[in-house]
Amino acid sequence: NAGVTQTPKFQVLKTGQSMTLQCAQDMNHNSMYWYRQDPGMGLRLIYYSASEGTTDKGEVPNGYNVSRLNKREFSLRLESAAPSQTSVYFCASSLQRRREAFFGQGTRLTVV
């Protein structure tokens, strides 16, 4: 089993460009999450989807949109990238009634 798979692993964008980060899980989990990790800031929640068909804002949602495409896939879109969005992005998933979240390997995004 692959667990949680994120693509791409690395990306460089110019300010104003758009892109979509993809995430897929094969563990039949209900809930999926997008976090960003910045030095000294820990993991901050951007958006989450408690179950298929629902999405909710997290702590730092501005500048992002998400789509829960189906139970397996949860994408994160940057419509107009800004240098402040330079970060490492992690997707995670969990069973709805259990709290343990399992993480992908991350996407390292640089906006210049």
Partner 1 sequence: GQQLNQSPQSMFIQEGEDVSMNCTSSSIFNTWLWYKQDPGEGPVLLIALYKAGELTSNGRLTAQFGITRKDSFLNISASIPSDVGIYFCAGQLGGNTPLVFGKGTRLSVIA
d(CA 12, CA 4): 22
CB of 22 to partner 1, least distance (A): 15
Q: Shortest distance, CB of residue 80 to partner 1, whole angstroms?
A: 25
Beta carbon nearer to partner 1, 8 or 16: 8
Residues that bind partner 1 (CB under 8 A): 4, 31, 33, 35, 40-45, 48, 50, 58-59, 90, 92, 96, 99-106
Closest CB to partner 1 among residues 64, 90: 90
Q: HEC states along 74-107?
A: EEEEECCCCHHHCEEEEEEEECCCCCCCEECCCE
Considering beta carbons, is residue 14 or 100 the nearer one to partner 1?
100
* CB closer to partner 1 out of 14 and 97: 97
Task: Please report how close the Cβ of residue 20 comes to partner 1 at its closest, in angstroms.
Answer: 19
Phi-psi group of 5: left, alpha or beta (phi > 0 → left; psi -120 to 50 → alpha; rest → beta): beta
> Do the Cβ atoms of 105 and 21 come closer than 8 Å?
no
Return the beta strands (E) in 9-60 as ranges: 10-13, 19-25, 31-38, 42-49, 56-57
Q: Name the minimum Å distance from CB 16 to partner 1.
A: 28
